[in-house]
Structure 1
Amino acid sequence: MDQTWTRPYPPGPGRWLVIVWEAVALAFLAWATVRQFELTGHGAKVVACAMAAAWVIGAHRILQMGAYVGAAGLRIHGLVRSRTLNWHDISHVRLHRATHRVGPFEIESGMTVVIDRHDGSTINTELWAKGVDFHARPSLFRAVYQELRTRHLEACTK
């Protein structure tokens, strides 16, 4: 599928907060590594460069995360991997109420968009109502969900 992919929503400002948080955490990890192993000179530079490279790669992936739509399908960019799905391989785009179990307690973590495929498998998207992109913009979350459903229905009726 060689085509143009567009993200049907602007990324939220919370992504930059995550990127800054990760920079601070990696800087602390580099500092602790240098102190723990008493690294000097080239050793300290190697650790600093490795942490900086990890941060640049991670920041780029965080900025690219999300769901992208095209004429022929849906592309989901995650932190580690991306997948491309043809609209005809998708049976349903739906909302899922995500919960986490901690002992006897069930903690609700909000609505997410889930893709059901014709082969019975389910694919989670990066679209989470309480996530960095939609936490303060619930109407945008609903609009993106409707956009995905509309694109899917239009592609399947052709």
Structure 2
Amino acid sequence: MPLTFLTADRAFDESVDADDIDLRRHDENRWRRPYRVGPWRVGIAAVLLLLASYLLFAAVLVGLAGAVAGTVTAAVTAAAVIALALRSLRMGAWVSAHGLRHVSLLTTRTLPWHRLTLVRTVQQPVRWLGLPRTVQGQALVVSSDAGKQLGPLLTDHNADFLGRPGSFNRAADAVEGWAARHGAEHG
């Protein structure tokens, strides 16, 4: 079973310069991530899936011992951990002709391109791997037509770009390019 949400579109391949990409030849109505999933995010998901395998094994052992309530608890906990791992892999920014989608752990926010007034990269304090600790870094910020800034869409210190500054720059350029092409007024 192919896991399409793990791979970036071929148009966003890291070996291709963002200025040389002809995105019109791709289906612009399909939601796509303009970058590859980072190694930190994949590692976190792998550890969660390992934990889920231990929980499922525990559910089998508890089930063989005859404790139905313990089996159900372990199985439900394993299913929740698997769902958490898969959701963590889907986190990030997604683009299509319809708009910009920001997927976080618990929420998904989609804004049409015509409602975005500003998509740009700024220097500011950013969270390191999503933890409370902040460091100076770059963030791709988005402002809507309602006048509010929607927080950083991408940062160079999140689980996708930590230790990969070139990847952050290509992803930010790709999102800014989509915004300019699809109606963000100031990009």
- For normalisation by structure 2, the TM-score amounts to 0.65
Match of 2:108 among 82, 98, 103: 82
8 Å CA contact retained: 1:74, 1:85: yes
For the residues of structure 2 that align with 1:18 and 1:108, how far apart are their CA atoms? 21
What is aligned with 2:176?
149
After TM superposition, which residue ranges in structure 1, 4 or more long, deviate above 4 angstroms? 23-28
Deviates more, 1:44-53 or 1:124-133: 124-133
For the residues of structure 2 that align with 1:125 and 1:99, how far apart are their CA atoms? 8
Q: Give unpaired runs (5+ residues) of structure 1.
A: 32-39, 101-105
For the residues of structure 2 that align with 1:157 and 1:113, how far apart are their CA atoms? 14
Residue 152 (structure 2) pairs with residue 114 (structure 1): no
RMSD in angstroms over aligned alpha carbons?
2.8
The 3-state SS of whatever aligns with 2:121 is strand
Query: Where in structure 2 are the equivalents of 1:2-151 lying within 5 Å?
Result: 3-23=29-49, 41-96=67-122, 97-98=124-125, 107-108=134-135, 110-151=137-178
8 Å CA contact retained: 1:78, 1:126: no
Corresponding letter in the other structure for 1:134: F
Structure number with higher strand proportion: 1
For the residues of structure 2 that align with 1:144 and 1:79, how far apart are their CA atoms? 20
For the residues of structure 2 that align with 1:110 and 1:76, how far apart are their CA atoms? 20
Q: How big is the shift at 1:140?
A: 1.0
8 Å CA contact retained: 1:110, 1:130: yes
Q: Give unpaired runs (5+ residues) of structure 2.
A: 1-28, 59-65, 128-132
8 Å CA contact retained: 2:87, 2:105: yes
Corresponding letter in the other structure for 2:68: H
- For normalisation by structure 1, the TM-score amounts to 0.76
The 3-state SS of whatever aligns with 1:61 is helix
Q: 1:43 to 1:157 in 2, by over 3 A?
A: closer
How many residues are aligned here? 142
